[in-house]
Amino acid sequence: MKVGIIGSGGREHAICQNINISQKIKKIYCFPGNAGTEEIAENVSIELDEFEKIKNFILNKEIDLVIIGPEKPLVEGLVDYLEKFKIKVFGPNKIASQLEGSKIFTKQLCKKFNIPTAKFGIFENQNEAKQFLKKIIYPTVIKADNLASGKGVYICNNKVEAEIAINEIFDGKFGKTKHLLIEEYLNGEEMSFFTIHDGITFKTFGTAQDHKRVLEGDRGKNTGGMGAYSPSRLINDELEKKIINKIIKPTIKGLAELGTEYKGFLYTGLMIVENEPYLIEYNVRMGDPECQTILPKVKTDIIDIFNACCEKKLHEIEIQWSNKKSLCVVLCSNGYPDLYKKNIEIENLSEIKLKSDEYLFHAGTIKKNDKLYAIGGRVLNFVTTSENFQSAKKSIYKNLEKLEWSGGFYRKDIGHKVIEI
C-alpha cells in the first residue's frame, strides 16, 4: 500500500513513523516532509497550497491513501478537491473544517445546540471592540477569528493589555481577519480530548495536556505548544461521558444539520471547571505536540484505523492502547515564538541513541550535505513512554542534555502538574 502524508511538522513525522510500522505499507510520501520523514519516506517538494500538483503526483504514483496533517489545507478544502478525483483522503471536508477555521462558526454552533462554552461577543472593528472593554470584568480572553497556528489568543488582565491585543489582531499579526472575539475568562484547567470519526461513528482517541506558554511556570507568550503529557490528570469516567454527551454529539448533530459529516481527527480543547467541561476551541486535526505524545501508545495498526474511517467502518475496529504514561518536550529555536534565526546547524543529534520507549520526531528541520539544520520555530520533539511520568521526564531531559545546539531552548518543567518537583 502507498500512503501520502501532507505536512512537515512533528505531528506528520509521528504519523509517518507510526504508519511505517505497518506490514501493509509499501511506500510513504511526505508533502513536503522534513529531515526526520526523509529517513523513512520520500519527501516531495510540493507546497501545501499547490492542490493541482499534489493531485497529479498522487494519481501518477497511484497512492492509495492520503492523510492530511495540518489545519490550513483542511480549511482551504484540500479534502473536497482530492475526493473529486476519487482519491481516498483521511480528514474533514471544508465545511466541517470551519470548526477550526472560524471561531465564530463554532461559537454560533455552540449557541444553537446549547454546547457549554464561555460567554462571548463578536466585533468587526477596533473601535467597537474597545468600547466593549468598558463593560467587562478582567481577566478576559481575546481571540482572532481566523487560523493563527495556536497563537492568536490573548489572556488580558487589564484594559491596556486588551487594547494591545485588539490592535495586534486587527493589524494583521495573525493574518487578515474581519472579526475578533472577546470571551469570558473561565477559571479552570485545560485539557485536550481527542476523537476519531468516520462520518457515522466516532471513538475516543486519548487525552493530553499541552503546555502553550513559552516560559516555565506557564508564563510568557502563547506558542504552538512547548510540550505535552498523556493521559490528562483530569480525565475520569464521569467527565468523559459529559464531554461526549454535552459537546461532541451535539457538534456532530449540528454539522449534520448543515448537510455535512465529520471524518478525521477532532481535537476538543476544553476548560474543566469543577469536573464540568466547557469548550474552548476545536481543532480539525491532531494537536501538535499532543499527536507525538499519544501515537506511541496506539497498539492497533493505524493504517487499519485510517482505512476504516475512510470506508465508514470504524465500528469494526477495536483500538487498543498501551497503559503507559507519555511525555513530550519540544525543542525550539531561540527567539520563538517571535523572530528566530534559520539554518542553524544541530551538530550531534545522530549520536543520541534512543531506547525502545524513547522517540524523536522532527519538525522544523532540513538536511543539507548530510548536515542537519533548524529552519523552524519548533524544531525537535523528544518523547518517552513509561510506567510513570517521573521516569519519562528523567529519560527525556537526559537525552536533551546530550544535545549540542546553542541555537535552541526548551522548557524544563513539562508535566509539572503531574510530577512532584
Measure the CA–CA gap between 290 and 414, rounded to whole angstroms: 13
359 and 265, same structural domain? no
Q: Is-contact 235 241, C-beta < 8 A?
A: no
Last residue of a domain, one of 162, 184, 206: 184
User: What is the grid cell recorded at 61?
Assistant: 504514483
Report yes or no on 112 lying in a domain: no
Strands 180-184 and 153-156: unpaired
Same domain, 41 and 87: yes
Tally of domains in the chain: 4
Q: Using CA atoms, how far apart are residues 35 and 350, in angstroms rounded to an integer?
A: 12
Contact (CB, 8 A) for 327 and 231: no
Which residues form the domain of 193? 189-316
The CATH number of residue 166's host domain is 3.30.1490.20
110, 160, 162: which is closest to 140 by C-alpha? 162
Examine residue 154 and state whether it is found in any structural domain, yes or no: yes
Q: 266 and 195, same structural domain? A: yes
Residue 104 lies in a domain: no
Q: What is the pLDDT along the chain (421 residues), one digit of tens a residue?
A: 999 999 999 999 999 999 999 999 999 999 999 999 999 999 999 999 999 999 999 999 999 999 999 999 999 999 999 999 999 999 999 999 999 998 889 999 999 999 999 998 989 889 899 998 988 889 999 988 877 666 678 899 999 999 999 999 988 888 788 888 999 999 999 999 999 999 999 999 999 999 999 999 999 988 999 999 999 999 999 999 999 999 999 999 999 999 999 999 999 999 999 999 999 999 999 999 999 999 999 999 999 999 999 999 999 999 999 999 999 999 999 999 999 999 999 999 999 999 999 999 999 999 999 999 999 999 999 999 999 999 999 999 999 999 989 899 999 999 999 986 4
- What pLDDT sits at residue 69? 97
CATH code at 332? 3.90.600.10
**Grid coordinates representing 375?**
529552519
305/290 Cα distance (integer angstroms): 18
Q: Are residues 136 and 56 in the same domain?
A: no
Q: Are 29 and 47 members of one domain? A: yes
Inside any domain, residue 233? yes
Give the helix ranges, DSSP H, for 136-248.
159-170, 237-243
Domain end call among 131, 154, 184: 184
Residue 198 sits in the same domain as residue 296 = yes
Q: Which three cell numbers stand for residue 209?
A: 495536556
199 and 244 both lie in a single domain: yes
The number of C-alpha atoms within 13 Å of 95 and in the hemisphere containing its C-beta is 12
Do 231 and 256 lie in one domain? The reply is yes
Judge if 156 and 226 occupy the same domain: no
Written as one letter, the residue type at 288 is D
pTM of the complete model: 0.93
CATH of the domain at 71: 3.40.50.20
| Domain endpoint, select from 284, 316, 348 | 316
What is the rounded CA–CA span in Å between residue 335 and residue 409? Answer: 9
Domain assignment present for 96: no
Residue type, 199: G
Does residue 259 sit in the same domain as residue 281?
yes
> Could you give the 3-state DSSP secondary structure of residue 133?
helix
Instruction: Answer whether residue 98 is part of any domain.
Output: no
Instruction: For residues 164 and 87, state if they share a domain.
Output: no
Residue 269, in any domain of the structure:
yes
Return the pLDDT at 173: 85
CB 299 within 8 Å of CB 19: no
Look at residue 101 and tell me if it is in a domain: no
- Regarding whether 368 and 352 lie in a shared domain, the answer is yes
